[in-house]
Amino acid sequence: MEQKVEPKKRNKKKINNQVYERELENLQIELVKLQDWIQHKGLKVVIIFEGRDAAGKGGVIKRIAQSLNPRVCKIVALGTPSSKEKSQWYFQRYVSHLPSAGEMILFDRSWYNRAGVEHVMDFCTEDEYNEFMRSCPDFERMLIRSGTILLKYWFSVSDEEQEKRFQDRIDDPTKGWKLSPMDLKSREHWLEYSKAKDEMFKFTDTKQSPWYVVPADNKKRARLNCLSHILSMIPYEQIERPELSLPPRKVDKGYIRTPFTNQTFVPEKY
């Protein structure tokens, strides 16, 4: 049984940058081995990342995908559904992004939008919400029975830390795009989102498909802990790759290279 981490026991001490970079590199090397195993065995892996706005989901996803083949490890971050998608079976637009054999899909938010933002902001009806709560566990059990490995992570961030990160996004011109009007609106509904999360866990934190909570006030620890947990949840072995060596380059003495003066170069400003 997964050991539950009580908030008062969370390690809030900052982690040394050198330690963080070393551990992250080691974990990313292991993720490459896991990727090779997923391809070798034809595994189908789905990893869901949910949590408060600014909880650090994107940073973890970035570190997972950073060293992996984008044809194997794919990130899915869907926008607002179109009018056509709204008329479909709710899970339909997510099903089209599920993995084929040898793929790992990272959902940056997922079908759990219905249990969170859609419910809190009244973007769905009460009947649609109740139907989601009834059908979601069955949907996930079907995925698992079909051979899909499903992992679900909830990133938990305190009110104070979220406010600090929101302010950082406001002040930093390179991060402003991360802060949408909906994110700001969520600050007004902190309590409603907390209640929605508790209700969501009540229905969907099942034995077959449990939620794993990641304490995320410290981004670096959250990244290392999440990557380490993923690696522990999918048994894998190292696939030996063939030794590679660069072949000699063929030389055609009759070939004349196009003069640089005939090409347009980017100005060297730096």
- Whether 250 maps to a domain, the answer reads no
Q: What is the mean pLDDT of residues 9-33?
A: 90
Can you give the pLDDT at residue 175? Answer: 79
CATH for 162:
3.40.50.300
Select, from the ranges 48-57, 140-149, 253-262, the one with the highest average predicted confidence (pLDDT): 140-149
Mean pLDDT score, 62-82: 96
Question: Is the CB of residue 57 less than 8 Å from the CB of residue 51?
Answer: yes
The answer on pLDDT for 139 being more than 90 is yes
Q: For residue 225, which phi and psi values (nearest 5 degrees)?
A: -65, -40
Lowest mean pLDDT among 38-42, 172-176, 182-186: 182-186
SS (H, E, C) 125-193: CHHHHHHHHHHHHHHHHHHHHCCEEEEEEEEECCHHHHHHHHHHHHHCCCCHHHCCHHHHHHHHCHHHH
Kindly state the average pLDDT of the residues 16-22: 96
| CB contact at 8 A, 102 and 69 | no
Asked, for residue 269, whether it belongs to a domain, the answer is no
Percent of all residues in the chain with a pLDDT value above 70, rounded to a whole number = 96
Q: Examine residue 23 and state whether it is found in any structural domain, yes or no.
A: yes
Whether the predicted pLDDT of 29 surpasses 60: yes
Residue 44 forms beta bridges with which residues? 103, 148
Is residue 11 over pLDDT 80? no
Q: What is the pLDDT of residues 220-245, one digit of tens each?
A: 999 999 999 999 999 999 999 888 88
Is residue 3 included in any domain, yes or no? no
Name the residue range of residue 75's domain: 8-242
Is 268 within the bounds of a domain?
no
The pTM of this model reads 0.88
pLDDT digits (tens, 9 = 90+) for 171-181: 888 877 777 77
Q: Quote the distance between the C-alpha of residue 9 and its chain's center.
A: 25
The confidence band for 265, taking pLDDT boundaries of 50, 70 and 90, is very high
CB count in 10 Å sphere of residue 178: 15
Q: What is the pLDDT of residue 162?
A: 85
Q: Looking at the domain assignment, is residue 265 inside a domain? A: no
Residue 55 lies in a domain: yes
Q: Higher model confidence: residue 169 or residue 129?
A: 129
Check if the beta carbon of residue 91 is closer than 8 Å to that of residue 139: yes
Q: Which of 162, 157, 142 is nearest to 208 (CA)?
A: 142
In the block, residue with structure tokens 């109740």: 130
The count of structural domains within the chain is 1
First CA to last CA across the chain, in angstroms? 55
Distances (CA, A) of 15 to 12, 23, 174: 9, 11, 25
Location of structure tokens 């789905």: 46
Q: Does the structure show a pLDDT above 70 at 7?
A: no
Residue 39 neighbours by CB under 8 Å, 6+ apart: 72, 102
More confident residue, 185 or 263: 263
Distance of alpha carbon 50 from alpha carbon 108, whole angstroms:
7
Q: Examine residue 104 and state whether it is found in any structural domain, yes or no.
A: yes
